[in-house]
């Protein structure tokens, strides 16, 4: 019996010791959660990364899509209807300004011109005689005015027909490269018939649109760079014209630049990736984009002061893939936290590891 009582006594003692241990541990954990796990009852500092802010020059670029156009480009049409008698160009060849491309049959027009010339000669003689008679007061002023009007009408008719004859020779309005022809000798052409295309691409134009927030930075004669698909070469162009207003629907400003294309590497109609340099900002504060915390009504960052994280409301400007310009809210020498910013709270103790110094 004594052995039995001894076993029960030891068992109850063991259970009581276990309960006491668990109660003590729970109290200790509650105290740690409430007062921190340090020896002095304070929470250990949170390990974070940060950068030291310093003023620097900031030069940003803007990547835009543009369209390459020929310096000059037209569709070649005839101004008069008729049979295409001769074609004087070769497809894909270079032509000079004023060169005859197509000759339209003008036999009927020349016949009309001869007829009109005869009428003009007769009207001129009648006008001369009427003038002499008027000087002798043999006819009235009205009769002379009729003869003079007949002469002027005949002269205008002759000039009109000669102008139409001139239009039967279709000439290149500028030097360039002729395209593929859409007619053959003997084709009856009208003003709506497309004969071919004429393109001058010794220089090319790049047209692109700039968001309105950067419109004030666009200047004539500024230099841009661009690339095209299928080539690793970088080309340069100079801005020569701006639209006078921003498009309301897209809120963009249309800009046009021109580039040399003597070697013909750039084809009109293709797309260009335009790299547009923006204004340089001196003494700018540049920080990593991950340091910015969006809040209602603005943005904030966490800076370190006396070993604690403090909130600072900032105003930002231009943003790149990795960095953002801070316009206000920071000063030189501030340490801006870049990690843990979404979990940080005001006056949280922090231990900062500087990753890089913002230049």
Domain limits, the chain = 46-58+281-354, 63-71+198-277, 106-167
CATH dotted code for 106-167: 1.10.287.470
pLDDT tens profile 156-215: 999 999 999 999 999 999 999 999 999 999 999 999 999 999 999 999 999 999 999 888
Measured distance CA(295)–CA(165) in Å, rounded: 76
Q: Which helix (H) or strand (E) holds 47?
A: strand 46-52
Question: What CATH number should be reported for the domain whose range is 46-58+281-354?
Answer: 2.40.420.20
Residue 299, pLDDT above cutoff 80: yes
Tell me how many degrees the CA angle 25-8-14 measures, rounded to the nearest 5.
Answer: 15
Are residues 275 and 66 in contact, defined by beta-carbon separation less than 8 angstroms? no
Q: Say if strands 298-305 and 293-295 run parallel, antiparallel, or are unpaired.
A: antiparallel
The whole-angstrom separation of Cα 113 and Cα 151 is 15
**Tens-place pLDDT, residues 206-247:** 999 999 988 888 889 999 999 999 888 999 999 999 999 999
Give 180's strand partners: none
Fold type of domain 63-71+198-277: Elongation Factor Tu (Ef-tu); domain 3 (2.40.30)
Return d(Cα 129, Cα 131) in angstroms, integer: 5
Single pTM value for the model: 0.64
Contact between 198 and 76 (Cβ < 8 Å): yes
Q: What digits encode the pLDDT tens for the residues 242-278?
A: 999 999 999 999 999 999 998 889 999 999 999 888 7
Count CB atoms within 10 A of the CB of residue 332. 11
Task: Indicate the range of 77-91, 225-239, 319-333 predicted with least confidence.
Answer: 319-333
Q: Is 328 helix (H, G, I), strand (E, B) or coil?
A: strand
Q: What SS3 class is residue 303?
A: strand
* DSSP secondary structure letter of residue 315: E
Tokens 């797309």 locate to 271
Task: Write down the number of H helices and E strands in the chain.
Answer: 3, 21
For every residue of 189-217, DSSP letters joined together read E-TT---EEEEEEEEEEEEEEEEGGGGGG
CA–CA separation, 253 vs 243, rounded Å? 6
Residue 310 and residue 102: Cα distance in Å, rounded? 80
The pLDDT confidence band at residue 44, using thresholds 50, 70 and 90, is confident
């Amino acid at each position: 019996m004594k052995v039995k009582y001894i076993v029960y006594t030891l068992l109850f003692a063991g259970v009581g010791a276990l309960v006491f241990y668990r109660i003590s541990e729970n109290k200790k954990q509650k105290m740690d959660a409430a007062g921190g796990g340090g020896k002095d009852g304070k929470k250990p500092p949170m390990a974070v990364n940060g950068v030291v802010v310093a003023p620097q020059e900031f030069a940003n670029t803007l990547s835009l899509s543009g369209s390459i156009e020929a310096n000059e480009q037209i569709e070649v049409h005839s101004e008069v209807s008729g049979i295409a008698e001769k074609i004087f160009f070769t497809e894909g060849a270079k032509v000079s300004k004023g060169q005859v491309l197509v000759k339209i049959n003008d036999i009927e027009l020349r016949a009309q011109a001869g007829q009109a010339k005869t009428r003009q000669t007769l009207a001129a003689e009648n006008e001369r005689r009427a003038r002499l008679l008027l000087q002798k007061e043999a006819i009235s002023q009205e009769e002379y005015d009729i003869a003079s009007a007949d002469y002027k009408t005949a002269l205008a008719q002759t000039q009109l027909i000669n102008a139409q004859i001139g239009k039967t020779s279709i000439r290149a309005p500028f030097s360039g490269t002729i395209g593929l022809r859409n007619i053959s000798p003997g084709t009856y052409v009208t003003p709506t018939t497309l004969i071919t295309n004429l393109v001058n691409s010794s220089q090319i134009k790049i047209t692109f649109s700039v968001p309105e927030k950067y419109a004030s930075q666009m200047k004539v004669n500024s230099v841009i760079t661009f690339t095209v698909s299928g080539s690793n070469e970088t080309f340069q162009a100079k801005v020569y014209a701006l639209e006078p207003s921003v498009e309301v629907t897209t809120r963009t400003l249309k800009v046009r630049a021109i580039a040399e294309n003597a070697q013909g590497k750039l084809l009109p109609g293709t797309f260009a990736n335009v790299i547009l340099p923006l204004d340089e900002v001196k003494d700018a504060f540049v920080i990593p984009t991950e340091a910015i915390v969006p809040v209602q009504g603005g943005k904030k960052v966490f800076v370190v002061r006396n070993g604690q994280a403090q909130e600072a409301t900032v105003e930002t400007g231009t943003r790149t893939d990795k960095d953002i310009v801070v316009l206000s809210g920071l000063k030189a020498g501030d340490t801006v936290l870049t990690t843990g910013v979404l979990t940080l709270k005001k006056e949280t103790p922090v231990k900062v590891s500087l990753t890089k110094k913002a230049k």
